Amino acid sequence: MHELVQLAVGGLFLGGIYVLIAIGMSTILSVTGILHIAHGANLSLCALTFSALASTNILIAVLATTAVSLAFTMASYEFLYRPIGHRQTTLFPLFLVSFGLWIVGSSVLTLIFSATASHPRTSLNSTMDIGWLHLLKINLLAFGVAIACYAATRLFLAKTMTGSLMRAVACNRDMADVWGTPRRRAERVAFAMAALLAVPAGIFVAYTLGAYPTVGDTPLLIAFSTVILGGVGSIAGAAGAALLFGVIQGVAVWKLPATWQDGVVFGVFLLLILVSPRGLATLRTRRPAGTRSASK
């Protein structure tokens, strides 16, 4: 039993990386309606950039990683999503564009960087004992950063004028244009937030999984599943589902080989999405058939 709890707690803390990815993707999806799948290539780019520079100076590595993340993400919006979205009436072409950018980005990274995984050196790869639990310090740090970034995102959206603008655009993008709301500014801020959140995510991915051209693919798919499962537009739902998937991924190796981890996670996702196709957040709002709402 101790082993199961150990795996669950380790998975919970590792789920902090998925939280960082999920809240960025959820913000973009709710404000723009775009499924930014190319975020996976950006995660790999962040991990590779940081890993290449971490041995020289950590601060320079973080600043360079932030610069390339912002450049990749904002260029995707300005030169692909915005021009194509202006000429299209549906969002599906933008999904295809994002998917294509993801594939092209991963291929370019494979040409530039070695396919061999590199691991930045850190003293945080050691464990810390809490009772009979043995926890990796880097996972604890990732979890703490994820909670801080989640709180900062919620505070920004709730307490700032720009956050109010983004929430208004998320509620009704078409009416935002009618009201004269600067929708494009809200969209740019959403992409910039996702780019900034990808920086710590990419750094922790490099430390825990290693840095190689496709390292961001699986975390991206898991985080994307949490966005759908948590309910489109719900940052809290996405973060909660991300932690849940981290726990599932951790305990999956209790009785199964490690190669089954991802299969178990996506298997659980399929079962849960069958129960609630619109996300788990809708379960609490469902009423039994035949009941009347209080307002009627």
**Paired strand residues for 118:** 211
Q: Could you give the CA distance from residue 9 to residue 16 in angstroms, rounded to a whole number?
A: 12
Q: Could you give the CA distance from residue 24 to residue 34 in angstroms, rounded to a whole number?
A: 12
How high is the pLDDT of residue 178? 58
User: What residues of the chain score a pLDDT lower than 50?
Assistant: 285-296
How high is the pLDDT of residue 180? 55
How high is the pLDDT of residue 277? 78
198 contacts 187 by C-beta, under 8 angstroms: no
Residue 71's nearest CA partner among 213, 214, 212, 196 is 196
How high is the pLDDT of residue 10? 87
* DSSP per position, 91-134: SHHHHHHHHHHHHHHHHHHHHHS-SS-B----GGGSEEEETTEE
Q: Could you give the CA distance from residue 257 to residue 272 in angstroms, rounded to a whole number?
A: 23
How high is the pLDDT of residue 186? 92
How high is the pLDDT of residue 289? 47
Tens digits of residue pLDDT in 165-204:
899 888 877 666 656 568 889 999 999 999 999 999 999 9
Q: Cα–Cα distances in Å, from 28 out to 6, 35, 127?
A: 34, 8, 35
Residue 244's nearest CA partner among 264, 215, 274, 259 is 264
How high is the pLDDT of residue 292? 44
119 contacts 132 by C-beta, under 8 angstroms: no
Residue 15's nearest CA partner among 245, 188, 269 is 245
Tens digits of residue pLDDT in 203-226:
999 999 999 999 999 999 999 999
Q: Could you give the CA distance from residue 178 to residue 67 in angstroms, rounded to a whole number?
A: 34
- CB-based burial, 240-269: b 16+ in 10 Å, e otherwise: bbbbbbbbbbbbbbeeeeeeebeebbeebb
